[in-house]
Structure formats: C-alpha cells, structure tokens
Structure 1
Amino acid sequence: MSEVKKIATRESYGNALVELAKEHDNVVVLDADLAAATKTGIFKKANPDKFFDCGIAEANMMGIAAGLSTTGKVPFASTFAMFAAGRAYEQIRNEIGYPHLNVKIGATHAGISVGEDGATHQCNEDIALMRTIPGMTVINPCDDVEARAAVKAAYEIDGPVYLRFGRLAAPVLNKEDYKFEVGKGVIMREGKDLTIVATGLMVSSALEAAEKLAQDGIEATVINIHTIKPLDEDLIVESAKATGKVVTVEEHSVIGGLGSAVCDCLSAKCPTPVTKIGVQDVYGHSGPAVELLKEFGLDGEGVYKSIKEIM
C-alpha cells in the first residue's frame, strides 16, 4: 500500500467529542485520570463545565455515568479498554446494560498495539466481554474518519454503546464523505477467491495482505466490519457464498471476538470454512507496537503469510 496519513483513533475520539458537544448540549464526558492518554483532554479544554474526572475509580465512573444518563445527559465514560471492559465489567453489566441506560463507553488503548505498556494493559478480551451483554452495541472503527463518524452515530443510539479505539496511529482509509451506518459492513475490495473479514486496525493489514495475494493470483474480498454487534450477517453470508472461504482478522483474542461472531453467523446460515487470525489464546508483552504486530502476525505481511498457508 502507498503511504497514507496516519491518525490514532483515540485522537479521533477526543476531536469527535468536541464537535458532538457543539451540536448537542446534553453531551458530557467522564474520564478516570487518563484524559491526556484517552484524548478526552481535548474535550476538557473546550468544555470544562461538561467534563468530570472521576479519578482512578473506573467502576465508580460507570455508576456516575449511569446516574447522569437518567437525568437526560448522554455521558461518554472514557478510559483504557482494560479498565473499562475489565475492571468495570460488573458495573457496565448491572448498572448500564441491565437497565439499558443511554451510556457510551469510550475504550482506548485496546489490543496488542498498546505496545510498551505490556500484557496487563493490552486488552484482547474486551470485544468478547462486551458482546455478551444484552443490548450492547459494539463498534471498532478502522481509521480517523470512521472513528469520528462512529462517535456521532453512538450518540444517536438509544442505549449502551462500547466504542473501541487504539493507541497506535492508523492509516486513514476513508474519505471525508464516508457514510457510516451502524451494523453495516463495508466492502473495501472485491475478489472471487476468498473473503477477508477484518475490524479496527486490522482493516489496513487485511488490505495490504490482499494486495500481496493479488500478486500471487489470489483475489480476495475485504470486508470492514466496524460494528461487531449487531453484525452484518447478510453481507458476510453473501460473500461467503460467493467465495467459499472466509478468514477473519482482529487485534483481539480469536476466542469470543470478531472471528467467533462470524463463525456463529456462518455455522447457522451458511456453513463455510473459517480461519481466525488474531491473538491465539496468549497474553501480549511489552515492546514497540509495530514490532509486536509483526511478532503476532497481525501486520500486512503476517496476515498475507497466514492466508497463503491456508490457500
């Protein structure tokens, strides 16, 4: 792939919140002493009276967000994915999910690409956890344009939404006129030999792999699944029928994430061989993000090699 502009989707999150507050007076943002890292500090600077630092108390922050939502506010509760989906899981499940409250969870620093922070902070289980909560919408945007659109779309949803953002700068794949639709996958490239279903940062890796495969005479359809719940089952089934082979690619455990969601869909509606590329039931470890992606086979070259083996 040619060089393109790169922006971390956590940066997109902070910028999108500022724009959203200009349009909607009921937007408030909560953070757990990580505003500089989650980029909600951008919102704090623009709207200090609508920003609440809850300290290093993520579970309490979710309870506060739940309460604010019952007063007509639309709270965006923000922290690292490990602390949102992990530490505060019970509060999200019981205080936000169970009463189906209108709380949006902005989870940054997800996946292996957190890098030097290491295994304790590299959350590769959050999609699996959030998928299991009834009524929870789960969105994992692939780039800056999609991330900003996802924040606005999340506001329009009446109910809880989990938004997953990354630390590492991601290639900007979409144009500014891109139309984001919750629950609808996007065909990024068309091919006849196999279907690659990717999400988040891995969409760019999948596209890079598809270009390499094309040089070997293998044409792949690449689908960007930005909304993992609800899943665009119709698009996945349609492509599986057309190509007969499916590969999923995610910066997340292969257990319970995008791959599992796709397998659930296809086993019920269109039995198809599926290979899941992702974190293979192991913990991450400390290291430069780009090098870790290579080590775990999640860069373009790694995805290409994995697909070549199964083809």
Structure 2
Amino acid sequence: MNKIANRQVICDVLVEAAKEDKDVVALCSDSRGSASMTKFADTYPEQFVEVGIAEQNLVSISAGLAKCGKKPYASSPASFLSTRSYEQCKVDVAYSNTNVKLIGISGGVSYGALGMSHHSAQDIAAMCSIPNMRVYIPSDRLQTEHLFKALLKDEKPAYIRVGRNPVEDVYEEGNVPFEMDRATVLREGTDIAIIACGEMVKPAADAAKLLEEKGIHAAVVDMYCIKPLDKAAIVKAASGAKAVLTVEEHAPFGGLGSMVSQVVGSECPRKVVNLALPDAPVITGTSKEVFDHYGLNAEGIAKKAMELL
C-alpha cells in the first residue's frame, strides 16, 4: 500500500523546481503541516509566505506576486479555498489571468469527523463555473507528479484538489500515460463506460475487474482534467458502450456527472447515471467509511453498473 500522499508529492516537485527557479513561491494559510509544505518552508524560507488563517489574503497576495513575475503555489484546505476566497479566485486569479496555482488540500470528505464545515463537496461545480479557471483532480501520487511538472511549464490559472491521506496507486512507476488536458483510458469496454476522477478512479478500476468476472466488459476513464473537459474521450467511451456511469467525491449537482451528461446528451445519447455523495451532510467517519456507506467503493460501483445494464 502506498504511503505517500499526493500533497507530499506536490511539495517534493516544488522543492526540486525551486532549486533552479527562484520565482517559484509557496504560500499557505496556517496550513504548512496539512499541505506537507514544511520541507519547502525550511529549505527555501525566502520563497515561502505564511499568511495565517486568511484565505482571501492568500489568494490576493498570490495574484500580486504573479503580477510581479513570481510563480505562486497557494495551498489551503479545499473547503475554505473554494468558498471563503471565491471572489478572489474569480477576480484576482481567473479574471485577471494571473499565474496562480490554487491547491485545495484535504479535498472531498478527507477531514472525516470534522463534518460538513470542513468537507469540499461543491468545489468542482464552483471552480469550473469560473471562466478561465482550469480544474484538476489527480488520481494518485504518480499522476500528481506528472501534473505538477506540467503546471510548472505554463502561466495560466488553475485549481487542483488533492485528498489528505495516501491513496492506492492507479499507475505504475515509470508507466504513467499522462498527457496534459487529456483523460487517460485505463481499460476498454463495450458494455458500460465508467468515468471517474480523483480518489474514485482506483475503486472504479477495481469495479471493472469485478464486472469482468461476471462477463461484463467495462471501460474505465480517468478524467483527472475536469476543466478543460476531455470531450473526445467521453464521446469515444460512451459511443462504444450501452450506458455511462460517472463516479465522483462530490455533490450530485454541477460536478463531473453533470458535465459528462451534457456531453453525452448532445453528442451520443446514452443513459448516464451519476454516483456521488448525497445532497445532504454526509455521515461522520473516515474517507473509507464514508465511501463504503454511500457505495463509492469497488463493490458499490460494480453493483450500480449492473443495475444500469
């Protein structure tokens, strides 16, 4: 079982980049521990900014630094970054087209027992609705590394959500078929297309194996790039299947499921069902306990897929 969280990988990539590029700056909102940015702060204190519990200031300061030629990476709990500083994300980052990478840590239900106040089940919908804001949710540590190395090469705004704890590897060391803004097809299938993002990709892949044992051939698509959405990958997967199942750690409205439904409905009509968190405060528990309760695990995904066929 992998023991390296995606947030740690982000820090490692930025520490390496900062060796050669003194314009790389990391910022936190009293969250360097939660963001695993302590190593960056200790190694490059002159390239680290701690703003305290002030998410709005975090985003605005990052935008100001970007206008001065710096390359800011701002980390804060996704639940707060996507709500408390929403106006700053919209105006200072996206509308002003500043080179700010917003890193929503402890995304989804990562905070577990802290409940709805600390859960970010609305951030995909919120951030995707902002013009000029890209949205990414990598599925494992290996894809996270490739994503951030790619983000270091561009100067466009982006919001990236990662969870709190280590997750099982989806890919293998040295074999990560990553292409910027292109979904990754993990397997082909002609019965049902399962399109997932973030921590739901691994259980979706495992569900496909369970379905295969029952003679059901499922395609699995890792849609880490929520915006820009890889419409071509959606159309290809949906066109070759009888139905589409989307899986996400998000509310049922405005997220991956809604976006996939729009594409499928207009391009290649098929039945689409969205497996997501409920439109209600979720139960208290660890991520695994929450996922198991709502069927956001391999068994639950496989069961829902069979119901569609």
Count of residues in Structure 1 that have an aligned counterpart in Structure 2: 308
1:78 aligns with 2:41: no
Whether the 8 Å contact between 1:9 and 1:144 is mirrored in structure 2 is yes
1:135 aligns to what? Answer: 132
Which ranges in structure 1 are unaligned for 5 or more consecutive residues? Answer: none
- Letter of the 1:101 partner, please give it: T
1:24 Cα deviation from its structure 2 partner: 2.5
Flag as ranges the 4+ runs of structure 1 deviating above 6 A.
none
Aligned to 1:239: 237
**2:110 corresponds to which of 109, 113, 116:** 113
Q: Does the Cα contact within 8 Å between 2:191 and 2:218 map onto a contact in 1? A: yes
The alpha-carbon deviation at position 175 of structure 1 amounts to 2.5
After superposition, where does 1:286-305 map in structure 2 within 5 Å? 286-305=284-303
Deviations 1:109-166 (A, max 9, x none): 1112331222111110001101011111111000001111111222222211101100
Whichever residue aligns with residue 265 of structure 2, its letter is S
Could you give the per-residue CA deviations for residues 148-189 of structure 1, whole angstroms, max 9, x where no partner exists? 111122222221110110012211122233242221011111
Amino acid at match of 2:157: P
Cross-structure match for 2:9: 12
Superposition pairs of residues 1-311 of structure 1, within 5 angstroms: 4-177=1-174, 178-311=176-309
CA–CA distance in structure 2, aligned partners of residues 287 and 15 of structure 1: 29
Following the alignment from structure 2 to structure 1, what is the Cα–Cα distance between the partners of residues 3 and 10? 14
| Cα pair 1:113 1:292 within 8 Å, conserved | no
Check whether the contact 1:7–1:143 (CA below 8 A) recurs between aligned residues: no
**Structure 2: which 5+ runs fail to align?**
none
What TM-score, normalized by structure 1, do the two folds share? 0.95
Q: Structure 1 residues 39-48 or 56-65, which shifts more?
A: 39-48
Counterparts of 2:46 and 2:283, CA distance in 1: 39
- SS of equivalent to 2:247: strand
CA distance in 2, matches of 1:120, 1:150: 29
Cα pair distance change 1:23/1:202, threshold 3 Å: farther
Deviates more, 1:214-223 or 1:268-277: 268-277
